[in-house]
Amino acid sequence: MVIQLKGYGRLTPDRLNATFAALADPTRRAILARLASGEASVTELAEPFDLTQPAVSKHLKVLERAGLISRGKDAQRRPRRLEAAPLAEATDWLERYRQVWEGNFQRLDALLAKMKTTEKTRAHDTR
Amino acid sequence: MPSPGATTITTPGDREVTMTRRFDAPRALVFEAWTNPEHVPHWMLGPEGWTMPVCEIDLRVGGTWHFVWRKADGAEMAMTGVYREVKPPERLVSTEKWGPEWPETINTLTLSEKDGTTTLTNTVLYPSTEARDAALKTGMKEGATQSFDRLARYLRTR
């Protein structure tokens, strides 16, 4: 059976691995959250996280490789900015997975309601 | 029927996918619905068009389970695994495998109950990050929009 996802052609497995790996780290998620409110230089990013600049640069490299951030034009500050599209693709994916299970679980809700009624009837009968 | 809580999906580590959902029923019933072959084929169906003609469950440590889904056009998917921990109504650990080309995962189901409401947490642990991401991608099958359409129809008929 061939399984094809519609609209996900651009997303290569390597790229996706990089995206999920990048998102797995809490500091990197915090950096992304900070960049969501506007671009920032390495120095500006290092401040709130209590990290050294080399440590921040390391995280930025991972984010950059995953295509989640890019560098602005200002040669002096080299501000980083958020690249929303790959991030949206990754979260979209989880959302679809979630929806499939939500479908299962809503059927389970209906079944549980039925089971509860049956159990009550049974308890009543044996009384 | 209003659902007591939405499903949340997270990737808490490099190799895991965790799913959480609340149910308006005691956990003994949720455990029963999750592990009794009489109930499972009624709800664990995934996207539109699939039925579950085979559902075998040998619910004991070392016992196997085997599910087969089928579509009207003849396509089939099979999944099998072995139970590692069986502690009704709170915990179930089992392995899961889709086929020889797929990595085996370890699935941990926990059910906690409060005031007659159950919180279900199911964590799927993959052997590697790559395996998890590939499975997530394929796990979508043909898109959940169809699943929603069917669900909407199903709910309307109730």
Helix B129-139 × helix A13-23 angle, to 10°: 110
- Please tell me which of the candidates A95, A104, A111 has its beta carbon nearest to residue B46: A104
Tens digits of residue pLDDT in A55-69:
999 999 999 988 889
- Residue A106 contacts B, CB cutoff 8 Å: yes
Tell me whether residues A108 and B6 touch, CB distance under 8 A: no
**Over residues A68-92, mean pLDDT:** 81
- Give me the interface pTM, i.e. the ipTM: 0.77
Tell me whether residues B29 and A112 touch, CB distance under 8 A: yes
Q: Which residues of chain B have pLDDT under 70?
A: 1-4, 137-158
- Residue A35 CA to residue A76 CA, distance in Å, equals 18
Tell me whether residues B30 and A13 touch, CB distance under 8 A: no
Does the predicted model carry a pTM greater than 0.80? no
- Residue B73 CA to residue A63 CA, distance in Å, equals 43
**Helix (H/G/I), strand (E/B), else coil: A69:** strand
The pLDDT value recorded for residue B153 is 42
